[in-house]
Structure 1
Amino acid sequence: MPDHNSAIHLERFSEQHLDGVTALYNDPAVARQVLQMPFQSVEIWRQRLLAGNDRALKLVAVHQGVVVGQIGLEAYSRIRRSHAGSFGMGVATAWQGKGVGSKLLAAALDVADNWMNLHRVELAVYADNEAAIGLYRKFGFEDEGLFRDYAVRDGQWVDTLSMARLRKV
């Protein structure tokens, strides 16, 4: 059982985190809550890391050298959508509900607001993922719509909720 009172620190996702991020998203409990395929290779995550650009932020949450969470925020490149971006994140099962998601999301939104000047940050979340939805609402995200039968999970069609946060200036 991890020591949840120990410090979690955030780092920019780099080559040294590839094995940890791969393991995070290959955990069946994490994989079933994100729009990733299970059994991804380190090479797939390396390609995603190297595909980064200056309109993207990729962070990991680390505890005693172990990746316990990850978030990727990307601003849209199309000129008429350049005020907006979206993110995806995952937190290790043992660390869910311990503030890791809050720490990752707070850091990403700080960059979105103060460095990327994003007015709108949006996301899609499985409609039955109450813990994640609660986290997003805590940070000012609001429901915008329900996408019925949006994705397949465990062999069943599942709905996702579209949420967004508009920065108040």
Structure 2
Amino acid sequence: MKNINQQYILKNGKEITIRNGAVTDAEKLRKTVKKYIGESEYIPQLPEEYTLTIEEQENWIKSFIEKENSIMLIAEYHNDIIGNIDINGSVRKAMQHTGGIGMGMLQEWTNSGLGTALMTCAVEWAKQNKILEILWLQVYTDNIGGVSLYKKMGFQESGLIKNYFKQDGKYFDNMTMSLSVK
């Protein structure tokens, strides 16, 4: 159930592969994440704050491989990592049926259908997982594309924190959205 290796043809006509993340992806993934953090206005982290070493990145990937209620998926185009999504299942007994989603992609791949492909793979995996019942994520309310994608996938608004993010003196609201997968 955990092995995923699927091809998708995106709106831009390019064929990509979505597969399980592996420890050997650590260095390439680290570079991709650092790049998309710098490109995105909707990730509440600065590139200089992303300081994982290769070993820490390897351990982070390993944590998704080892937990039954978690998965990390990598999107590749010609062996380059262009995006990723993860479901981080809670280790706490009372919340192990829940998994938080994190997703990112390189700017040049936005609006190509990559987000839909990543989200589809992750949600389908979660629906087959014996432990997970609820997926949740957080999104800037200003991120119209993200909110639209999550609604299209069936996520519903669960809560709102006003002025949660502050960047360059401007405040942004944080919306939590959730999806039942059982």
Q: TM-score under structure 1 normalisation?
A: 0.86
Whole-Å separation in 2 of the counterparts to 1:154 and 1:107: 35
Structure 1 segments unaligned to the other structure (5+ residues): none
Does residue 143 of structure 1 match 2:157?
Answer: yes
Q: Which residue of 2 aligns with 1:29?
A: 39
Q: Which residue of 2 aligns with 1:20?
A: 28
Counterpart residue type for residue 68 of structure 1: I
Q: Which residue of 2 aligns with 1:50?
A: 62
Moved over 6 A (4+): none
Counterpart residue type for residue 166 of structure 1: S
Counterpart residue type for residue 46 of structure 1: E
Whole-Å separation in 1 of the counterparts to 2:115 and 2:88: 17
**1:77-88 matched pairs, under 5 angstroms:** 77-88=91-102
Q: Which residue of 1 aligns with 2:47?
A: 38
Cα offset, 1:62, TM superposition: 0.3
Q: TM-score under structure 2 normalisation?
A: 0.80
Give the 3 Å change call, closer, same or farther, for CA 70–166 of structure 1 in structure 2: same
> Cα deviation per residue 1:72-94 (whole Å; 9 max; x = unaligned)?
10111222212211110001111
Counterpart residue type for residue 106 of structure 1: T
**1:62-101 matched pairs, under 5 angstroms:** 62-101=76-115
> Cα deviation per residue 1:1-48 (whole Å; 9 max; x = unaligned)?
xx9312110122223433332232223223x32244413245143342
Counterpart residue type for residue 47 of structure 2: P
Structure 2 segments unaligned to the other structure (5+ residues): 1-10
Counterpart residue type for residue 24 of structure 1: T
Does residue 134 of structure 1 match 2:143?
Answer: no
Q: Would the aligned equivalents of 2:23 and 2:62 in 1 still touch at CA under 8 Å?
A: no
Q: What is the number of residues matched between the two proteins?
A: 165
Percent identity reads 22
Counterpart residue type for residue 100 of structure 1: L
Counterpart residue type for residue 39 of structure 2: A
Superposition RMSD in Å: 2.1
Does residue 111 of structure 1 match 2:130?
Answer: no
Q: Which residue of 2 aligns with 1:160?
A: 174
